[in-house]
Amino acid sequence: MKISLIDIGSNLTHETFAQDRDAVMARALEAGVRRQIVTGADMASSHQAAALAAANPAQLSSTAGVHPHHARSFDASRREELTLLLRRPEVVAVGECGLDYFRNFSPPDAQRAAFVAQLEVAIGAGKPVFLHQRDAHADFAAILKDFRHAVAGGVAHCFTGGRPELEDYLALDLYIGVTGWVSDERRGQQLREAVPHIPADRLLVETDAPYLLPRDLVPRPHSRRNEPCYLPHIAAAVARLRGESLDDVAASTTRNAIRFFRLDGAPEAAAPARA
C-alpha cells in the first residue's frame, strides 16, 4: 500500500515552478504526497499561495504571512491585508513569520515588531503560526513565550537545531518540522541527533521546495531544485533515525498535520499552551 504524506512547507509559488507546476503537483501525488501546505513569504506570495490552494482544494492549502527578510515592509496596511486574507478557508496558518539574524535583510528591531504583530494577528484569527528562526533563538523563544498561551498552535518550520533548541520548543508546545537538512552530512549532525527525541505527536515533515534538496538522493537529480515528490525520501531518513518504519512515520506525521492545520474537518489544531 502506498504511503500517504503531507508536505507542511512547499514554496509552489516560487518562480522555478512557473513552467511545470502542474507536473510537479502530479509527481507529488504519484509519490504519495496527498497534500501540500503552500508557504506565503510576503503579501504577494501569500495571495498567490491562497489562489493556488483555492484552485486545487483537494491537494493544496496555504499559509499567509511575512518572512523576517521582508519585515521592514510590514506596516499597518499590510497587517490589515493579512487579517483579511486569513479569513479565506484555504489559508490555514499565519506565516512564514519569525526572526532571522543570519542575514538581517530587515533590521532586527523591524523583525521583532513584525513578528509580534503577526502573532497578534494569529490570535485574532484563531489560526496557528508557521515559524521561521535562524540565529535568533533567544529572542525568538522569548517573544513566542509571551504570546504562546493565546496562539492556537505553532510549528518550528525547517528545524535545524539540536537537543537544547528542541527542548525549548517542546516546552512552548511547538510542533517540529523536519526537512531534507536531515540528509546533509555537512550541516545536519545535530538535527540527526535530535530527531529521535521529537515526540511522535509533535513531528511533521516538509521539503521547503525548491530549497534544501536532500544531498543523498540516488540517483542524483539533474536539477538542484527540490520538489515535494522527494518527501518520502525525507520521511524515510527520519524513520531510520527514529528506529521506526516509514509507514509509522507517514501515519503519525499525516495525523499530526491534519490536527495542526485543521485539515479534512479535523477539530481545533492545538489548545493554547497552559500559562
Among candidate residues 92, 91, 93, 94, the one with its CA nearest the CA of residue 74: 94
Among candidate residues 110, 84, 81, the one with its CA nearest the CA of residue 98: 110
Is the pLDDT at 68 greater than 70, yes or no?
yes
CATH of 5-261, one of 3.20.20.140, 1.10.3720.10, 3.40.50.300, 3.30.930.10: 3.20.20.140
Going by pLDDT thresholds of 50, 70 and 90, the confidence category of residue 274 is very low
Indicate the residue type of 189: Q
The single residue listed with the C-alpha cell 510542533 is 175
- Report how far residue 31's alpha carbon sits from residue 172's, in angstroms, rounded to the nearest whole number: 33
pTM over 0.75: yes
Mean pLDDT of the chain: 94
Domain ranges of the chain: 5-261
Is the pLDDT at 32 greater than 70, yes or no?
yes
135 in the Ramachandran plot: left (φ > 0), alpha (ψ -120 to 50) or beta? left
Going by pLDDT thresholds of 50, 70 and 90, the confidence category of residue 270 is very low
